[in-house]
Amino acid sequence: VKHRWMEGLKQHPTTVQLLEMCKDVSEGMTYLESKQFIHRDLAARNCLVDGNGTVKVTDFGLSRYVLDDEYTSSAGSKFPVRWSPPEVLLYCKFSSKSDIWAYGVLMWEVYSLGRLPYERLNNTEIVEQVSRGLRLYRPQLANEKVYSIMTSCWLEVSEFCIVLWALLECTVL
């Protein structure tokens, strides 16, 4: 399964280009977080890539302005299961932390060249397995440093400014 943003590329992007894509999204999400917005549907399908390879975060249909960095959806709300952390899967509790989790999944999408996260699991299995600690494997194109940034997004203490700082460190290696 490939996402549309990969279709326009004439050749596979380099690992430097993949890192730059992730950095662009992190910068956009850092900005949204600074304005107290929770995106709630961050995924590769909701990003646009221009002719220069610059990535912009789009699709704010599920976004919310929040004052206390936490939003609990009303019963029956739909959300993107494959990009959601346990607190969203189990309690429908959204925060900037859930956006950071989704960002880690987006990084995984980028480095797997558009594969579907948890592609062999259905939504029920994803809820079960992620709640028990299952995390996405390291994509072949992601080195250990990049994968450690991904996995740091799946911890409770992550913040976009820390993720962005780690990505900037990767660009100087």
Catalytic residue among 41, 50, 59, 68: 41
Residue 93 near residue 85 (C-beta atoms within 8 A)? no
**What tokens were used for 100?**
């950071």
Which of 43, 56, 50 lies closest to 8, judged by CA?
50
Residue 3 near residue 114 (C-beta atoms within 8 A)? yes
Residue 22 near residue 107 (C-beta atoms within 8 A)? yes
Which of 147, 18, 108, 87 lies closest to 166, judged by CA?
147
69 is catalytic: no
Which of 131, 39, 43, 41 lies closest to 85, judged by CA?
131
**What tokens were used for 62?**
């599920």
Amino acid found at 135: R
Look-up of token digits 């975060």: 57
Burial of residue 124 (CB within 10 Å: 0-12, 13-18, 19+) is exposed
Q: Which residues are catalytic?
A: 41
